[in-house]
Amino acid sequence: MADTKTDTDTGKDDVKEQAGSGLDALRDELVDYLGAQAEHLVEKTGERLTDLTQQLLDSADNGGGFLTGVGSRILKGESPLKALVAQKAGDVKDKVVEGAKSLFGKSKGKSGQAKITNIIEVLDIGVPIRDAYNHWTQYDEFSGFTKGVQSVSQNDEVTSDWKLKVGPSKRSYKATTQTQIPDDRIVWTSEGAKGTTRGCVTFHEITPDLTRIVLVVVYSPAGFFEKTGNIWRAQGRRLRLDFKNFQRYVSFADPDVEGWRGEIRDGEVVRSHEEVVEEEQRQEEGEEGEEGEGDEEYEDEYDEEEGEGEEGDDEEYDDEAPDEGGDFEDEEEEEDEEEEEAR
């Protein structure tokens, strides 16, 4: 029994020794792993410190922009570490902004011009062409029936100031009328801080009570947010909706509105509103006079023909009447002679 116990104790001791050696090996491996990680971390930190030092040296060589920024932050009371981090974050922000500007900046093609938006709309309105044109020239009324036009102030017969709104963005434009021909077309250009436009609206008479309006606008955005909005064609949607609002407004508006009917060529007034209106009135009076003269001539010709016809009938009747009477008397005389001979 004593020998058996001794063997058992010996076996347990061997197991303990093996377990201890395994734990020692595991501990050694863990120490080695942690040491390797620490060395790697130190190397990365050293590399970053080297890069930062190089950046500081480069900045000093290039005028000390980064270093100057850090120094100014330290002088304002910031800790050196906080100053470094803040200045670095500012440089990253500047790079992001520059990247965004390059992304949405002027993208020049073969022609060397910035990207533009072409907007073309066609609408038919059930009013005479004169009424449709007159309503279009009433710029100060646009803010009452459109959502994009906030206000319009007419400086003179050629220039006007417009305040517009597209979504959350507001903008102002100075518009100049280049060509304006009554009941035919209006061509304009506009300039503002957020872009430029070139537009043309033409009026076409389909029937006396139906007018077709063709609107063409070329929009060149300027600025980061305007170019971003241009990607989604926000300006085109706003113009299209307000064009339909014009159609609705004119369809129910007073047809006797008096528009500005002057004529503009190459940005200068060649005929004033009063001159054009007087000329149109003279044309209308001349047409009415020609129609009246035509009716009088027709009546005179009818009276002359009628008078000639009556005179001719009377003469023929007078000529025939004696002949008929004379023949009747001759027949009576012949009958009397025959009766006398028979006796």
Give the Cα separation of 26 and 206 in Å (integer).
Answer: 96
Amino acid 171: pLDDT: 86
The kind and range of the H/E element at 12 are helix 2-61
Give strand pairing partners of 312. none
pLDDT for 300: 60
pLDDT of amino acid 295: 61
Question: What pLDDT, on a 0 to 100 scale, did the predictor assign at position 139?
Answer: 93
Q: Which residues contact 157 (CB under 8 A, 6 or more apart)?
A: 177, 260, 262, 264, 269, 272, 273
The pLDDT assigned to 26 comes to 72
Please tell me whether residue 70 adopts helix, strand or coil conformation: helix
Q: Can you tell me the distance from the alpha carbon of 275 to that of 182, in angstroms, rounded to the nearest whole number?
A: 12
Question: What is the predicted pLDDT for the residue at 120?
Answer: 93
Beta strands in 267-332 (DSSP E): 268-271
3-class DSSP state of 218: strand
Residue 165 contacts residue 148 (beta carbons within 8 Å) = yes
183 phi-psi bin (left φ>0, alpha ψ -120 to 50, beta other): left
Residue 134's nearest CA partner among 202, 182, 178 is: 182
Burial 287-316 (b: 16+ CB within 10 A, else e): eeeeeeeeeeeeeeeeeeeeeeeeeeeeee
Please tell me the number of Cα atoms within 13 Å of 252 on its side-chain side: 6
| Per-position pLDDT tens, the chain of length 343 | 445 555 555 555 665 566 567 677 777 776 666 666 666 665 666 566 556 556 655 555 554 555 566 666 666 667 766 666 666 666 655 654 555 455 444 444 444 455 788 899 999 999 999 999 999 999 999 999 999 999 999 999 999 999 998 877 788 999 999 999 999 999 999 998 888 999 999 999 999 999 999 999 998 888 776 777 666 678 888 899 999 999 999 999 987 888 899 999 999 999 999 999 999 889 888 877 766 666 666 566 656 665 555 555 555 545 554 454 555 556 666 666 666 666 5
Supply the pLDDT for residue 105: 47
